[in-house]
Amino acid sequence: MVRISLLTYLALGLGSTTVLADCGQAPSSSPSVQIPTGVLTPVTDFGVNPTGLDLHIYVPKDLAPKPAVILALHLCGGTGPIYSYLSNYNPHADERRSFVVLYPSTPHDNNCWDVASKKSLTRDAGGDTTSLANMVRWAISEFDADPAKVFVTGSSSGCMMSNVMAAAYPDIFSAVSCYSGIPAGCLAGSPGASPQNSDPTCGQGKMIKSGEEWAAVLKSIYGKPEGYTEGSYPKVQTWHGEADFFVNYPNLGEQLKQWSTVLDVPFSKTQANAPDTGYTKIVYGDGSKLVGYSAKGVGHTVPVHPEEDLKWFGL
């Protein structure tokens, strides 16, 4: 569990002014209500929220028109405000002024995202995925954001949910970058998604499937709603520590098998010491759709690399 002292919490400004946002108004180049800039702010009205999630948002000062939206998902035991500190995206938002960051929180199952239940592993079926998608839809409308620049990232449980969100909403997200997770659907049918309540098979890296089998699991999350036409999926980069014995290292290979099949890109090469010493970059195709990072000597979780994430997102 990640812990942060109350003193640090207050010093970081994580307990800032509450703002109610009305997502029913027409989109404009500026928010329909005055959300403070340069400070992490709670939002309590972002649309239908079937699982009772919380949301904080970071909006930089002098936000550029048609900004991007990043959905940043905390690890188990965490919260959105804590992850805003751990991920360090906010200073980059201030510098670039080109994106807003959504930091949701789940109060359920030891603060772990639901990546196990049928509701959450089905598009718009009333699980955590539905609440998270509605946050993103609200932000796109509220900030007149560029719908082609919507991204998802997260660590551990947040990476697990990043893969699930990309599977359930490939029409919303254009890129994923996440840390120390598992394949989409790996915990399907588990009694929970937390270390305390989940089937350990997946977390231990013992859920081994072919690329075709993993692709079928992923695509089942989107399903075939009325008018369905299968389109493209977001590009993906995923990071994992070779010394991770909590969400075990084989999960990197299983994620890469899943996404390489879905994105139809074969393995092409590895690159040593990229982006850091001891990291190996695993490239599929020309590297524009899928890459993995294997971190020697790194446990759970791989530290967030915000600049590499933003580069992957084109920001």
User: DSSP string spanning 137-176?
Assistant: HHHHHHTT--TT-EEEEEETHHHHHHHHHHHH-TTT-SEE
Report which secondary-structure segment, H or E, holds 40. Answer: strand 40-43
- Selecting among 117, 141, 155, 156, the annotated active-site residue is 156
204 Cβ contact partners less than 8 Å away, ≥ 6 residues apart: 248
Type of residue numbered 273 = N
CA distance 285 to 204: 29
What crossing angle do the helices spanning 250-263 and 211-222 adopt, rounded to 10°?
70
- Asked about 131 being catalytic, the answer comes back as no
3-state helix, strand, coil in the chain (%, to 5): 30, 20, 55
| Six-digit token string for 26 | 């027409």
Instruction: Write out the catalytic residue numbers.
Output: 156
